[in-house]
Amino acid sequence: MNFGEISKRRTFAIISHPDAGKTTLTEKFLLYGGAINLAGSVKGKKTAKYAVSDWMEIEKERGISVTSSVMQFNYEGFCINILDTPGHQDFSEDTYRTLMAADSAVMVIDASKGVEAQTIKLFKVCVMRKIPIFTFINKLDREARDPFELLDEIENVLGIRTCPVNWPIGSGKNFKGVYDRQTKLINKFTANHAGMKEVDTQVIELEDSKLDDYIGFDYADILRGDIELLDGASDDLDMERVSAGELSPVFFGSALTNFGVQTFLEHFLKMTTPPLKRKTHDGVVDPMKDEFFSAFVFKIQANMNKAHRDRIAFMRICSGEYDAGMDVFHVQGNRKIKINQSTQMMADERKIVEKAYAGDIIGVFDPGIFGIGDTLATVNNIEFEGIPTFAPEHFARVRQVDTMKRKQFLKGVYQIAQEGAIQIFQEYNTGMEEIIVGVVGVLQFEVLLYRLKNEYNVDVKLDKLPYEHIRWIDETSTVDIDKIQGTSDMKKIKDLKDRPLLIFTHPWSVRMVEERNEGLVLSEFGKN
């Protein structure tokens, strides 16, 4: 068993509010890892390429990432798996699942805006999982807020302590560089080739007599004052607290101009740990001890290749080694299967993987048997904990325009639902074939219409429904579903696994139904 390879693995997700510069940062990591020679700017100058991690047409049109992508590269003896997540709030479900596959998270914050709504949501998920969070405060090449103010905001809004590893000197047109608190060196900022190449940094010591000339007297003076304040007031870098997700190391830089990215990457690799243990229903799987292969599916993506309809199940390897063509036990399907045709992604380019280790993310061809949260292992007595599903907040009735295309329509809707981008429901007990779609954000309706048309050649109509609240009926309920005393705005529906659910227009109706029906237990989360 090659535990040496496993110990080199670092798997992290990048989270942020839309537009904070997450995709740009991802690209710059890849640039340093030698995975791409020229980083594409997301802003899209005429000559610049699309961002490497955005592959779906709708993403290119809008300049946002709507699905998570996974990229791998090597840097200084480490093998790094980056999970890029959609920043747009309408796709938080996908992000949530992706965070389940990561061992740590990098939170990108826009230096002019500070902590934004979506960052808070995603952060909560990281806290729930108690994974280490590293903060990169981006866009210092533009006018930025006071760095002390930004740290206060992170601490107050997110409730996590911060420890700045480096410190910015000025911002915008007056951005002079950053000071490294450990080495006590100043990296002077120089803009370079629109950030498409690696940067050469000029380094100067804090004590150097030329510092005043180098960055200007005023800035040197402010810097000395800031350092004094930091040394006296900020938290020490305690790696135990970082690992427990209680303290976030903070870095400043500018991803667009490539400044501070390398420093961040090097510190980050020193501070993070090899792959973490994973909970199963009756214990834990430890990648540094357990030799058997185990993995779970956290994402399914259909039709990544226009030339042929395909589905890829992304799985996180939790222990052991993967060999192409190996036999594994699929717990949920209760059968042995052979996994071959596994790939690793670099946005829309794939390479076939012969071997992978715990901590890696691989995509496996899915003939339609996998669901989100499924366990695969070479032993048949383990099952990883399921991944919770978010409650949709918007509902619509969907029907195809051309009745002759029923088959394509059903196939399309079911496949997109299996990816987890939408949830589909049917009327309970009426035998009606109507399909109700539930989504977390309304943009997902647009993506659904777009994909049904472009990938399955089906035009559909959406009729929005007034429901906003959904509850799963828990297994512990002792009430006969048919005899539930409901309210006038309640509707019974069932999900793909025939589990009964209730949807409501008003939040107070939920409480009323619980009060009226003794023994009824409702839950806000479903389990995959």
pTM for the model stands at: 0.74
In terms of Cα–Cα distance, which of 375, 396, 415, 387 is closest to 496? 415
Please state, as a whole number, how many other Cβ atoms lie within 10 Å of the Cβ of residue 339. 21
Mean pLDDT of 94-111: 85
CATH annotation of 278-377: 2.40.30.10
**Per-residue pLDDT, 397:** 92
CA distances from 286 to 103, 235, 317, 361 (A): 13, 31, 11, 17
Mean pLDDT of 62-73: 58
pLDDT band at 430 (very low <50, low <70, confident <90, very high): low
**Per-residue pLDDT, 466:** 93
Q: What is the largest CA-CA distance in the chain?
A: 84
- For every residue of 224-245, DSSP letters joined together read HHHHHHHHHHSPP--HHHHHTT
Strands (E), 281-366: 283-285, 294-302, 311-319, 321-323, 326-330, 335-339, 342-346, 349-352, 355-357, 361-365
**Per-residue pLDDT, 40:** 42
**Per-residue pLDDT, 257:** 81
Residue 528, Cα to own-chain centre: how many angstroms? 18
Please state, as a whole number, how many other Cβ atoms lie within 10 Å of the Cβ of residue 106. 27
The HSE-up count of residue 341 (CA atoms within 13 Å, CB side) is 10
Selected residue with higher pLDDT from 309 and 262: 262
Mean pLDDT of 362-391: 82
Selected residue with higher pLDDT from 391 and 321: 321
In terms of Cα–Cα distance, which of 252, 260, 268, 243 is closest to 150? 252
Please state, as a whole number, how many other Cβ atoms lie within 10 Å of the Cβ of residue 400. 21
Mean pLDDT of 310-334: 86
The HSE-up count of residue 206 (CA atoms within 13 Å, CB side) is 19
pLDDT band at 351 (very low <50, low <70, confident <90, very high): low
In the chain, % of residues over pLDDT 90: 14
In terms of Cα–Cα distance, which of 183, 197, 207, 194 is closest to 262? 197
CA distances from 370 to 146, 315, 438 (A): 48, 10, 21
pLDDT band at 42 (very low <50, low <70, confident <90, very high): very low
* 3-state secondary structure (DSSP) of residue 170: coil
Sign of CA dihedral 356, 418, 387, 527: negative
In terms of Cα–Cα distance, which of 162, 169, 156, 163 is closest to 225? 169
Q: Are the CB atoms for 74 and 276 separated by under 8 Å?
A: no
Q: Are the CB atoms for 147 and 155 separated by under 8 Å?
A: no
CA–CA distance, 154 with 160 (Å, rounded to integer): 7
CA–CA distance, 249 with 161 (Å, rounded to integer): 9
Selected residue with higher pLDDT from 458 and 206: 458
- For every residue of 108-135, DSSP letters joined together read EEETTTBS-HHHHHHHHHHHHHT--EEE
Please check whether the domain covering 388-527 is classified as CATH 3.40.140.10: no
pLDDT tens digits, 214-224: 777 787 788 88
* 3-state secondary structure (DSSP) of residue 417: helix
**Rg for the chain (alpha carbons), in Å?**
25
The mean pLDDT of the chain is 80
CA–CA distance, 179 with 156 (Å, rounded to integer): 25
pLDDT band at 505 (very low <50, low <70, confident <90, very high): very high
**Per-residue pLDDT, 509:** 92
**Per-residue pLDDT, 296:** 92
Mean pLDDT of 166-177: 83
In terms of Cα–Cα distance, which of 268, 274, 350, 276 is closest to 314? 350
pLDDT band at 236 (very low <50, low <70, confident <90, very high): confident
**Per-residue pLDDT, 39:** 39
Mean pLDDT of 376-384: 88
CA–CA distance, 27 with 414 (Å, rounded to integer): 33
The domain ranges of the chain are 3-271, 278-377, 388-527
Look at 255-269, 298-312, 386-400, 426-440 and tell me which has the smallest mean pLDDT.
298-312
**Per-residue pLDDT, 343:** 60
Q: Are the CB atoms for 246 and 160 separated by under 8 Å?
A: yes
Pick the CATH number of 3-271 from 3.40.50.300, 3.40.228.10, 3.30.413.10, 2.60.40.10: 3.40.50.300
In terms of Cα–Cα distance, which of 262, 21, 18 is closest to 139? 21
Confidence check: pLDDT of 129 > 80: no
Sign of CA dihedral 358, 361, 364, 369: positive
Please state, as a whole number, how many other Cβ atoms lie within 10 Å of the Cβ of residue 234. 17
